[in-house]
Structure 1
Amino acid sequence: MRMWADNAIDIATGRWRLWLLAAVCVAELAHLVWEHLHGGIVSHHLLARPDLPAIWNGWGLVLLPALAWFASGRVSRRIAASRDPRRAGARVAIGAAAGLLTGALLSAAFVQGREDLAGAVLLAAVALGVLLPAFRAECVFGFVVAMTFVFGAFLPLLIGSVVAAVSALAHRGVYPLVWRLWKRTRHPATGRVRS
Structure 2
Amino acid sequence: MNKEIARGQNRSNSKVLFTGIVTVLVLSLLIWEHYHGGIASHHILQQQNLPAISNWWSGLSLPVLTWFLVGISEKRIGKQSSQGQQTRNLQIQALRLFVTGLGLGVLIATSFTNGYSAFLDNIPYIILVLSLIIPIFYAEFILEFITGMTYTFGAILPTVFIFLLALIGILTYRFIRPAIVMLTVKLKSGLHKSPSR
Tell me the TM-score normalised to structure 2 length: 0.83
2:43 aligned residue: 45
Equivalent pairs counted in the alignment come to 179
Amino acid paired to 2:170: A
CA distance in 2, matches of 1:99, 1:153: 14
Task: Indicate the RMSD between aligned Cα atoms, in angstroms.
Answer: 2.0
Structure 1 consecutive aligned stretches of length 4 or more whose deviation exceeds 3 Å:
172-176
CA distance in 2, matches of 1:157, 1:126: 18
CA distance in 1, matches of 2:115, 2:99: 24
- 1:74-130, Cα deviation, whole Å (9 max, x unpaired): 111122122211111011000011000100111111111223322224531233124
2:52 aligned residue: 54
Q: CA deviation at 1:131?
A: 3.5
1:25 is matched with which residue: 23, 26, 32?
Answer: 23
Q: Is the Cα contact below 8 Å between 1:103 and 1:143 reproduced in 2?
A: yes
SS of the residue 1:55 aligns to: strand
In percent, how many aligned pairs have the same letter?
31
Corresponding position: 1:166 with 2:168: yes
- 1:45-90, Cα deviation, whole Å (9 max, x unpaired): 1111112211111111121112111111111112212221111101
Structure 1: gaps (5+ residues) = 183-195
Q: CA deviation at 1:175?
A: 5.0
Structure 2: gaps (5+ residues) = 184-197
Q: Is the Cα contact below 8 Å between 1:92 and 1:138 reproduced in 2?
A: yes
Tell me the TM-score normalised to structure 1 length: 0.84
2:156 aligned residue: 154
2:190 aligned residue: none
1:66 aligned residue: 64
